[in-house]
Amino acid sequence: MVPRSIAACQTATPDLFRTPAREPAWKHDLADAYRQAEELLASLGLSPEAIPDLDPAAPGFRMLVPRAFAALMTPGDPGDPLLRQVLPLGAERLPVAGFTRDPVGDASADLGQGLLRKYAGRALLIVTGGCAVHCRYCFRRHFPYAALGQTPDRTAVAVAAIAADPEISEVILSGGDPLMLDDDRLGVLLERLHEIPHLKRLRIHTRLPVVLPSRVTHALCRGLANSRLATILVVHANHPNELGAQAEEALQRLRRADLTLLNQSVLLRGVNDAAPILGALSERLFECGVLPYYLHQLDPVEGAAHFAVSDAQALRLGEALRERLPGYLVPRLVREVPGVGSKTPLTDAAPIGSPFL
């Protein structure tokens, strides 16, 4: 197996990953994350009374915010766009028509063992339910990870199913966040996928380089670079303020390892629903070595309706971006419609039943 490029990742080894002698720093950073809303607010010089709808006891989806991400928030600002993405609010408890627990049809696409088939030639493998940050708009906030989460045996069955289907040329690792796997487990999984001859591409959907940049270690770069599969990392940033110096360093390290880096954002009310913010995000992503890929209309997941932006406003924002940015910096404005064989471009003819009309 010949590495494509390892200039940023030191010398390749026979193994995909070399386990460090000590526990990596990113695990300490994750253990030290904020889990109580009051503690996070205090670090920003805010009292709970500054957030009238604060719901620290939000059921079923606890708060989790890495300190590196919280450090990018503006002290004293209760409307900070990064804080808004992670702070539990009472609005999450309100039932809203059209917002469901399975907004993208994962259940109907499930083949068992965490393997999903939605699109031709591609298979999505949910490798963990863990994530480093709990975004309040997450479309899988109600996903039954306990029932479908991965164990070594389940992973082996899922990989065998991929190997048995020659129509699959690309595997997408998802979760949770695939980079929550430690290097040993991730390395074993990637080696198994490398052995499947009809696979051409590996795509990893991850938010960790943005919210927990210490996860992007030299060992991780070395392992991802040392692959026969064309490897694409699809990261997730919604606001330019998320891309601080540490995130930029992590993304540039991955880019120098010859990985393709794309970004997908979610259009969120009160976070990035303004053309100057979205334009600045695209510019900042490019500075970090990442190309804008998708701007998603919010998946209508139960508990996230307060983030919704109307289709009409979304279309106006898309037009404004095309007017102010070169084409390669304009993300595709799309939504995911259950049962449809591709992402659906947002147009004036919105799908019947859309909660955003």
Annotation: binding site for [4Fe-4S] cluster: 131, 135, 138
Q: What is the DSSP letter of 149?
A: -
Instruction: Name the binding residues.
Output: 131, 135, 138
Which string of b and e fits 202-235 if b means at least 16 CB within 10 Å? bbbbbbbbbbbbbbbbebbbbbbbbbebebbbbb
Beta carbons of 32 and 70 less than 8 angstroms apart: no
Reference 352, options 107, 108, 98; nearest CA is 98
Range list of H helices, the chain: 25-31, 37-43, 67-70, 81-86, 106-109, 145-148, 152-163, 183-194, 208-211, 218-225, 245-256, 275-287, 311-324
Cβ neighbours of residue 12 closer than 8 Å, sequence gap 6 or more:
3, 6, 222, 225, 226
The HSE-up count of residue 204 (CA atoms within 13 Å, CB side) is 26
Which tokens sit at 278? 């979205």
Reference 273, options 97, 79, 74, 1; nearest CA is 79
Could you give the C-alpha distances from 310 to 98, 292, 297, 356, in angstroms and in order? 13, 21, 9, 5
Q: Considering Cα of 98, then 333, then 271, then 275, what sign does the dihedral take?
A: negative
